[in-house]
Structure 1
Amino acid sequence: MILVTGGTGLVGAHLLLHLVESETTVRAIYREPKSIEKTKSLFKLYQKEYLFSKIDWVQADIIDVPTLEIAFKNVDFVYHCAGLISYDPNDEDLLRKVNIEGTANIVNFCIDNKIKKLCHVSSIAALGNQQSHETEISEETEWNPETAHSDYAISKYGAEMEIWRGQQEGLDVVIVNPGVIFGAGFWNQGSGLFFSSIKNEFPFYTNGSTGYVGVTDVVKIMIRLMNSTIVSERFTLVAENLTFKKVIFLIAENLNAKKPKIEAKPWMTAIGWRLDLFISTIFRTKRKLSKYSANSLHSSDFISNEKIKNPEVLGLNFEFQSIDSVIKEVCAKHKYD
């Protein structure tokens, strides 16, 4: 039996789709009944709704220990995809509770239930900090606690520390660190907001860059790693490093939407996050742009994917799907959905 946490999120839902297609016995966690509908909609989007009933759904929460006892019964392998993504400074405590404490709970249950292997979905945000003499960021880049990090990055790094604690206690683990993940469905959250915002003719772009990857590549690699003898390793999953302008323009072209015409300069985003802070304070609304997020829109670190592409890792020369192709597929689904 395979257990998937975060089965109602982008990665978890696509992972479930791939697992049940291979006739694997799968259990997935959900917190609220309505959240399952998002995953069901994804199966329907791919015209595979008939496979949805093969999932054994269990109501549980990774920060609610008693509910996890039922979820872990008769489980052999665990994919830990659950986590909170937020760049709102007001969510600092919640990020630490869900991403660090929640992961610690999963690790503890894996150890207690003698789970054969755990795959943890982390993020490139948890990778180290590129130094002046370095040209890229990889799995080996050192994390500098003195450097400014977002609360999200700190929480994902803390989650990884819990995974390595489990490894030291005898648990077989593997970690993946995806870049920005593009995939169909979930248009109103996470990376899906790229597509929804551009469809609604968002007018700004920046020339900062980051690493991107298609969700299908992410889940394929996760499954291959879990089925391999590889343990105690982590792998950066990035297909390409592209500028936000390039990605936004590609999405606009494929959605037949207007391309944004205004380049948001650093001084503009600096005003933007301060204005957003003022509005959220006065009207008690959720932050849309933090100081860290504003700065990251102009950063251009290069994320390396050489480790996962090494033929000796997965037994083949893994080739990522191009982001151009990923965007075309996602936009086609967006129009259909």
Structure 2
Amino acid sequence: MILVTGGTGLVGGHLLLRLAGTTPVRALYRNKANIDKTRKLFIRHGRQTAFESIEWVHGDIIDIPALEEAFAGVTYVYHCAANVSFDPADEIILRKTNIEGTANMVNCALAFGVEKFCHVSSIAALGDPLVSGGVITEETDWNPEVNHSDYQITKYGAEMEVWRAWQEGLNVVIVNPGLIFGGGYGDQGSGAVLKSVKKGQMFYTTGTCGIVAVEDVVEIMVRLMQSDINGARYTVIAENINYKDLLDTISVGMGKKGPSIEASKLMLAVGWRIDWLLSKLLHRKRQLTRHMAKSAYSTNPFDNSKIVNELDYKFKDMRPYLKELAAEYLTE
């Protein structure tokens, strides 16, 4: 039996699409209404029968009794569940879900004799290059003196729990995806990028980011779990792309005009401070934080050669993929 957490999210949903119907799969969920997103994903791919084969178990990764029920008879675990937020006000829930939740998962995996555990981390948990523009690899050291966001800190902390379990005898692999694009979950992750372009994104920055298709993330996870690889982590990106190019490509797919105004560092510095003030006055979530403003101009490239070489893997060409995804987004 395979256990998947985060099965109502982008990565977990597409992972279930990849696994269901070929092997017994159990998926953990918190809100039953969210299962409908994954059901629609299966319907879109003509795999309704496969969806019905999934065993859904109500629970939460911070609820140990519920996890004990979910882990019964499980041999392999894909831990995709996480809280993603760049709002400093969410620090407590980020720590609770990402660090404590992952600790619960690996502790249960050890207690129930799980054979192998795959943890979905993020490039946000990779290290800090010594110089601006330096290449980031799996071996780049994490610098605790750098001012990281709460999300970065909690994803790094989650990895520490996985490595601790590995030292205690659990077979593990970790994937560190970049910005993940995929269909079916337009309100999550990269869906915010698609949404902004659809609404008419006017601004861009000159920073870069690592991007990847969700199908590649899922395929790599499955191959790593089926391999003899143990105690390793991998940067999972198809390519590094500047934000202007990314937004222009999506705009073409939507038949819209691309952004034409560069948001300067000064503009972003003023912007995140105004956003902070508005969040206090209006009691709303932050839309632009200091870390978001800083990352918008980061040009540190990520190196994917480790996963490419070890699995002889060829990533999807992201330009046509993004255009097709953008066109589909308009119809969702």
TM-score, scaled to structure 1: 0.96
Q: Distance in 1 between matches of 2:241 and 2:216?
A: 17
Paired AA for residue 245 in structure 1: K
CA contact (8 A) 1:45 1:333 kept: no
Q: Distance in 1 between matches of 2:172 and 2:297?
A: 34
Equivalent in the alignment of 1:321:
316
Q: Distance in 2 between matches of 1:332 and 1:253?
A: 9
Equivalent in the alignment of 2:28:
29
Deviations for 1:301-322, whole angstroms, at most 9, x for unmatched residues? 0100010011xx22xx211112
Q: Distance in 2 between matches of 1:43 and 1:271?
A: 44
CA contact (8 A) 2:94 2:151 kept: yes
Paired AA for residue 156 in structure 2: Y
Q: Distance in 1 between matches of 2:246 and 2:133?
A: 25
Judged with a 3 Å threshold, the aligned counterparts in structure 2 of structure 1 residues 134 and 212 are, in CA distance, closer, same or farther, namely: closer
Look up the SS of the partner of 1:211 in the other structure.
Answer: strand
Q: Distance in 1 between matches of 2:195 and 2:256?
A: 11
Deviations for 1:150-207, whole angstroms, at most 9, x for unmatched residues? 1100000000000001001100000000010011121122111111110111221111
Runs of 4+ in 1 over 3 A off after TM superposition: none
- The answer on 1:187 being equivalent to 2:211 is no
Shift of 1:134: 7.7
Which stretch has the larger CA shift, 229-238 or 191-200? 191-200
Q: Distance in 2 between matches of 1:6 and 1:152?
A: 17
Equivalent in the alignment of 1:128:
127
Deviations for 1:91-116, whole angstroms, at most 9, x for unmatched residues? 11111110000000000000000000
Q: Distance in 2 between matches of 1:133 and 1:272?
A: 23
Q: Which runs of 5+ in 1 are unaligned?
A: none
Shift of 1:50: 3.1
Q: For 1:198-213, list aligned pairs within 5 A.
A: 198-213=197-212
Paired AA for residue 272 in structure 1: G
Q: For 1:3-42, list aligned pairs within 5 A.
A: 3-21=3-21, 23-42=22-41
- The answer on 1:149 being equivalent to 2:148 is yes
Deviations for 1:118-164, whole angstroms, at most 9, x for unmatched residues? 00000000000011298310000000000111110000000000000
Paired AA for residue 258 in structure 1: K
Look up the SS of the partner of 1:289 in the other structure.
Answer: coil
Aligned match of 1:330 in 319, 325, 330?
325
Q: For 1:228-267, list aligned pairs within 5 A.
A: 228-267=227-266
Look up the SS of the partner of 1:3 in the other structure.
Answer: strand
Paired AA for residue 335 in structure 1: L
Equivalent in the alignment of 1:279:
278
Q: Distance in 2 between matches of 1:205 and 1:96?
A: 31
Shift of 1:48: 2.4
Shift of 1:8: 0.7
Q: Distance in 2 between matches of 1:12 and 1:64?
A: 19
Q: Distance in 2 between matches of 1:222 and 1:73?
A: 22
Shift of 1:47: 3.0
Equivalent in the alignment of 1:162:
161
Equivalent in the alignment of 1:110:
109
Shift of 1:44: 2.2
Q: Distance in 1 between matches of 2:130 and 2:321?
A: 31
CA contact (8 A) 1:217 1:321 kept: yes
Shift of 1:288: 0.8
Paired AA for residue 143 in structure 2: N
Which stretch has the larger CA shift, 132-141 or 108-117? 132-141
Equivalent in the alignment of 1:52:
51
Q: Distance in 1 between matches of 2:92 and 2:137?
A: 28
CA contact (8 A) 2:235 2:307 kept: yes
CA contact (8 A) 2:133 2:300 kept: no
Q: For 1:274-313, list aligned pairs within 5 A.
A: 274-310=273-309, 313=310
Look up the SS of the partner of 2:235 in the other structure.
Answer: strand
CA contact (8 A) 1:99 1:156 kept: yes
CA contact (8 A) 2:10 2:188 kept: no
Shift of 1:281: 0.2
Q: Distance in 2 between matches of 1:19 and 1:226?
A: 12
Shift of 1:45: 2.6
Q: Which runs of 5+ in 2 are unaligned?
A: none
Identity %: 51
Figure out how many residues of one structure are paired with residues of the other and give that number: 332
Look up the SS of the partner of 1:166 in the other structure.
Answer: helix
Which stretch has the larger CA shift, 125-134 or 55-64? 125-134
Look up the SS of the partner of 1:177 in the other structure.
Answer: strand
CA contact (8 A) 1:213 1:240 kept: yes
Q: Distance in 2 between matches of 1:8 and 1:231?
A: 27
CA contact (8 A) 2:216 2:316 kept: yes
Q: Distance in 2 between matches of 1:283 and 1:91?
A: 17
